[in-house]
Amino acid sequence: MSDGTQAISGASAYEMVTSVREAIAGVAGPLLVGLYLFGSLATGDFEEGVSDIDLIAVLSDPPNDELAARLDQMHADLAAANPAWAGRIEVIYISTHGLASCRTHAATMAVISPGEPFHVVEAGRDWNLNWYPAREESVALVGPPIQTLIPPIPFAEFAEEVRASLMAFPGRIEDDAHPGSQAYAILTMCRGLFTIRLGRQPSKREAAAWARREFPQWADLIARSLAWRQRQWEPGDQNGTTTVSETRRFVAEMAQLARE
């Protein structure tokens, strides 16, 4: 994370991370063991006006109903005060025990993410999709190094969860999917297939560039998905119904390749 982050329609990414950190610490108090920034802002791939802020808040105990309600209200207040960031902040709240046993046991945790309200879930092994990259590349905002809280996760284990996610993706595209959500699906498939084939997780743009070379028949759609992603937070009606069938064909083809 860099102090040079440029301002976007209000608070910059750096300023927003500071605000979220202070808000979480204020609500969780002594229950907060650690807070970690991961994803594009931690790796240097953050795109202004487009990328999300991804955080993991580690608590001494799983979030109970009272704490979950207070965290939910805190996130609503942050979104109201920072409309440019509404829907662009993901925070996962998990206990130290839940994180320590993430490879073998499900854990109760709370999460707020783009497109989803604050909610409590049971996290299974599929959440290695988050724990692996967080353990590999994250910034500690509060607490000890995250490697002391997340056990080592073999890359092969992570790659299998990536493969499973790609294979399940074709059923997730709604008939009225917004262009931004179609872009997410397309770029997720590019990134996941790159990860499986080349043995590391790239940025979305690197994955898109690779996929355009690897699958020239889909190069135009992938290029358009990058443009859709850039405009996804712009106001106005963006109708994606005319491209849903094409997006579904691409996703289905990439899912089949992931099976091989």
Q: What is the pLDDT along the chain (260 residues), one digit of tens a residue?
A: 333 333 333 579 999 999 999 999 999 999 999 999 999 999 999 998 899 999 999 999 999 999 999 999 999 999 999 998 999 999 999 999 999 999 999 999 999 998 899 999 999 999 999 999 999 999 999 999 999 999 999 999 999 999 999 999 999 899 989 899 999 999 999 999 999 999 999 999 999 999 999 999 999 999 999 999 988 876 665 678 899 999 999 999 999 999 98
Overall pTM surpassing 0.85 (yes/no): yes
Whether 147 and 221 have beta carbons less than 8 Å apart is answered as no
For residue 119, the cross-strand partners are 111
d(CA 60, CA 92): 14
> The domain 13-153 belongs to what CATH superfamily?
Beta Polymerase, domain 2 (3.30.460.10)
d(CA 247, CA 173): 8
d(CA 132, CA 153): 6
